[in-house]
Each structure stands twice: as structure tokens, then as C-alpha cells.
């Protein structure tokens, strides 16, 4: 009977997968030869072992003969355990921890195409911790993927030690991967620096940086008595690297409103995204991309955007904030301007009726010029306020030019009659 330890690794983010899997032979089905023993990763072309020494990373395929012999590379039954492939009939395997200090094994492959600078990629693989290792079985927390422009092949001894690079995608520190029954997903997101063409999978942390545990449950009766000893060993299947589009949260820009007013937050909605705003106070809707905000006091709103998760492996939550500053009640707006009305006759005879050239609804700082029929200016004011009574000008028809502060102008004739 298998011992079941369930461990789930996930990151919540907003993505849309945009392209095909860039990993060739991602489930290790293609092979140029059937493995006769386990340490023959090179048969799963174009995968290879970046550590060139006797032994090393393993390849398992159902085409291989099942045990006996003791060193079997078959699927589902092999030297290390009983495990069906997650996809198809094959998978790889490696040691992620061993009693020999900093001993590591890796698998590496060249991608179908280089990663594009500035683009985001969803990458990952599935692992299983087999149950047939002899003596003490170990489990660890640190497995990941390193992306590089060139191969990371070990060319100097000791060949078997930790490859000194930092993985861009890695399982969570402290969460030991125990599961002997299920395939466990390890995934994440990498932003390309441009030109990465190779991926390498394994444990890139030394022993002091690796959390490990020992399993003391009885080995199943079907296991070979000569199984590998004292190691943290993992099967690997279904490796993927896919370009994706991230919908980054955008809550909009900070703004000032008057108490009692409202303002629209956010930007237009992305396809397939879920929106959550906090706090709910003063919002028309907390689940849409662009709610109306009408807070009664200055409030900072937090927007969280994530994908629906449909058809995605990598998920990501993106957040952003926006502050709405609330001022005291704003003064009422000025009344709308009334249309100008210019009277075309006035009678300055001191009867207190129509004694001046009158312009109704005249705004302040309006300029006025008056000309007689010969073109001579008889009156001028830069701030006319309905005060011209004709002065000493004789009765007759005069021409006026009126310019408002808005630069709008009027002109026409007015009759002076005493």
C-alpha cells in the first residue's frame, strides 16, 4: 500500500497562456533507444544530463523490461517504485538530495525557441516521490527550473555537486514534497531577460539551504531488495514553458473630489479577469473593473485582479491602490451666463427712463468703443457698465464694438435720440 502525502504548490496570478509549449519531448515519450537500465536520460532525445559522470539522471519507459533485473527502467514498475506516467508511458528521474554532501542530479534540454526579452512565461513540471528506495527514504523542499542562454553542463570536478546558479522558478522553501501517489505540480512565472534557450531542472540549493525529512514507513513488498539508498529521489513528467499575458492591476490615479461628489476608479476590464475592491465603503460595486467611488472622507482603495483560472496552470494575483481625497463641501457652481442683449436705441433726456446705452447681462471687464458716422471714436471704456449717456454727442446713429472678457465680440448700430 502506498503512503499518501498531499502537497500542492501554487501561485495565484492573472494570466492568459498565449503560445505552445516550448519544451521538446516534454513528457519524455520520444526515445532513440529503449532504456536497459535507469541512468540513460540521453535516450529521451533531446534531453541530456548536464553532469557527465558514471550514473546520473534517469529515464523510464514502459518499453523497458520490468523487474527482474533489479536495475529496471520500466513504467509503471521500476527500481525506484511503482508509478504510472502522468502523460503517456515515460518519465525522467533524479536525486535531489543524498547522504554524500551536496550530491545532486539534473536534467537539461534546449527549448524549441529562445525566450523573448520582457515577456512573461509560465513554466513548471510535475514530480512524484517514489517509495522503493532502500534503507532511509528522504524528501526535500527545493526543486526548480533554471533558465539560461547556454547549457550549464558541469565541466570541472566534482561533477556531481550543486550547479551554482539560481533557479527562476522554485518550489516553496520549507514545504517538503512527500507525495508518493500523486503527481505534484511545481510552477511559477519568469520574466525573460532575452535569449534564454536552455532549461535545467533539479535542486540548486546546497544541503544547508535544503529542508529535508526522512520517511520510515515500511517499503512495499514489491520493491527490489537492492534499491537505491538514503536519497531524496523524484520522478519528473510533463515539463512546460509557455508564453503568457499578465493583466496587471491598475486602480487609476489619485484624485480629489468634493464631499458629495463621485469619481470613476480603475481602467477598462481585461478578458477573463476577476476584480475585487477593498474597502467596500463608498463604492458602487466591489466586483467590477471601474466602480464609482463616493467616499465621505479620504479613502485608499485596494484593487486585486486575478484570472478565472480556466485553462491556466500559473495563476497570479496583481494588486494596486488608489487614494480619493475628499475636500469639504464645494461651493455651489456659479449660475450659467445669460445671453447678451444690446438695446439699439436710448433717449438721454434725464427722465430716468432709457437714459443710457444699455446692454443686458453684460459681464464685468467688457470693453466698448463708440464711433460716429464719419468713423471718429466718440467714446471708449475698458470696463463698460452701462454708463454712456451720449455725453455731448448729437442725436444720430452710432456704431459700437463690444468685446467680452471671453474675447467674444459684438458690433452693430445704436440710435441716440433726445
Task: Kindly report, residue by residue over 178-216, the tens digit of the pLDDT.
Answer: 898 999 999 998 999 999 999 999 999 999 999 878 765
Q: State which of 221, 245, 269 marks the end of a domain.
A: 245
Q: Indicate whether 231 and 89 sit together in one domain.
A: yes
pLDDT band for 71, please (50, 70, 90 cuts): low
Q: Which residue has the higher pLDDT, 258 or 92?
A: 92
According to DSSP, the β-strands at 90-98 and 229-246 are antiparallel
For residue 323, the cross-strand partners are 300
Say if residue 394's pLDDT is above 70. yes
What average pLDDT does the structure give for the chain? Answer: 86
Look up residue 186 and give its three cell numbers. 511545481
Beta strands in 149-211 (DSSP E): 169-170, 184-191, 198-202
The whole-angstrom separation of Cα 131 and Cα 123 is 27
- Percent of the chain exceeding pLDDT 70 equals 87
Q: Indicate whether 108 and 210 sit together in one domain.
A: yes
CB 377 within 8 A of CB 370: yes
List the CATH number of the domain containing 298: 2.60.40.10
The domain tally of the chain equals: 3
For residue 244, the cross-strand partners are 17, 120
What was the pLDDT predicted at 231? 82
List the CATH number of the domain containing 375: 2.60.40
Q: Indicate whether 171 and 34 sit together in one domain.
A: yes
List the CATH number of the domain containing 232: 2.60.120.260
End-to-end CA distance of the chain: 121
Residue 333 domain-assigned? no
- Percent of the chain exceeding pLDDT 90 equals 60
| Residue at grid coordinates 463608498 | 282
Say if residue 412's pLDDT is above 60. yes
What was the pLDDT predicted at 134? 59
* pTM, full prediction: 0.65
Q: Indicate whether 111 and 203 sit together in one domain.
A: yes
What was the pLDDT predicted at 260? 85
Residue 2 domain-assigned? no
Q: Indicate whether 178 and 262 sit together in one domain.
A: no
Residue 36 domain-assigned? yes
Q: State which of 304, 327, 350 marks the end of a domain.
A: 327
pLDDT band for 230, please (50, 70, 90 cuts): confident
Q: Indicate whether 193 and 264 sit together in one domain.
A: no
Look up residue 276 and give its three cell numbers. 475585487
Q: Indicate whether 131 and 197 sit together in one domain.
A: yes
What domain range includes position 56?
A: 15-245
Q: Indicate whether 172 and 38 sit together in one domain.
A: yes
Across residues 125-151, what is the average pLDDT? 87
Residue 335 domain-assigned? no
What was the pLDDT predicted at 180? 87
Q: State which of 245, 262, 292 marks the end of a domain.
A: 245
Residue 332 domain-assigned? no
Amino acid at each position: 500500500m502506498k503512503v499518501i502525502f498531499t502537497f500542492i504548490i501554487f501561485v495565484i496570478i492573472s494570466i492568459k497562456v498565449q503560445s505552445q509549449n516550448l519544451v521538446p519531448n516534454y513528457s519524455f515519450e520520444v526515445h532513440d533507444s529503449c532504456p536497459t537500465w535507469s541512468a540513460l536520460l540521453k535516450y529521451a532525445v533531446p534531453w541530456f544530463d548536464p553532469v557527465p559522470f558514471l550514473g546520473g539522471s534517469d529515464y523510464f519507459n514502459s518499453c523497458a523490461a520490468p523487474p527482474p533485473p533489479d536495475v529496471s527502467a520500466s513504467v509503471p514498475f521500476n527500481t525506484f517504485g511503482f508509478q504510472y506516467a502522468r502523460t503517456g508511458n515515460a518519465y525522467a528521474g533524479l536525486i535531489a538530495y543524498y547522504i554524500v554532501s551536496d550530491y545532486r542530479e539534473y536534467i537539461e534540454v534546449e527549448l524549441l525557441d529562445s525566450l523573448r526579452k520582457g515577456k512573461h512565461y509560465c513554466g513548471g513540471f510535475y514530480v512524484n516521490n517514489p517509495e522503493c528506495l532502500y534503507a532511509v527514504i528522504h524528501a526535500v523542499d527545493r526543486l526548480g527550473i533554471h533558465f539560461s542562454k547556454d547549457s550549464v553542463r558541469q565541466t570541472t570536478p566534482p561533477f556531481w555537486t550543486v550547479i551554482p546558479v539560481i533557479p527562476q522558478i522554485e518550489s516553496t522553501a520549507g514545504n517538503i514534497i512527500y507525495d508518493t501517489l500523486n503527481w505534484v505540480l511545481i510552477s511559477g512565472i519568469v520574466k525573460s531577460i532575452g535569449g534564454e534557450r536552455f532549461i535545467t531542472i533539479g535542486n540548486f540549493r546546497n544541503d544547508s539551504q535544503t529542508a529535508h525529512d526522512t520517511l520510515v514507513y515500511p517499503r512495499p513488498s514489491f520493491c527490489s531488495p537492492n534499491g537505491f539508498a538514503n536519497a531524496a529521489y523524484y520522478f519528473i513528467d510533463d515539463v512546460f514553458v509557455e508564453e503568457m499575458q499578465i493583466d496587471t492591476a491598475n486602480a487609476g490615479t489619485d484624485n480629489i473630489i468634493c464631499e458629495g461628489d463621485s469619481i470613476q476608479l480603475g481602467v477598462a476590464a481585461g478578458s477573463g479577469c476577476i476584480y475585487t475592491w477593498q474597502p467596500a465603503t463608498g463604492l458602487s460595486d466591489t466586483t467590477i473593473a471601474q466602480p464609482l467611488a463616493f467616499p465621505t472622507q479620504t479613502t485608499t482603495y485596494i484593487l486585486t485582479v486575478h484570472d478565472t483560472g480556466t485553462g491556466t496552470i500559473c495563476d497570479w494575483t496583481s494588486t494596486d491602490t488608489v487614494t480619493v481625497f475628499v475636500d469639504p463641501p464645494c461651493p455651489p457652481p456659479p449660475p450659467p451666463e445669460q445671453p447678451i442683449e444690446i438695446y439699439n436705441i436710448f433717449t438721454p433726456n434725464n427722465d430716468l427712463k432709457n437714459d443710457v446705452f444699455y446692454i443686458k447681462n453684460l459681464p464685468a471687464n467688457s470693453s466698448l468703443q463708440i464711433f460716429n458716422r464719419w468713423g471718429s471714436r466718440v467714446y471708449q471704456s475698458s470696463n463698460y457698465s452701462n454708463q454712456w449717456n451720449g455725453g455731448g454727442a448729437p442725436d444720430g446713429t452710432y456704431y459700437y464694438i463690444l468685446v467680452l472678457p471671453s474675447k467674444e465680440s459684438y458690433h452693430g448700430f445704436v440710435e441716440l435720440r433726445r
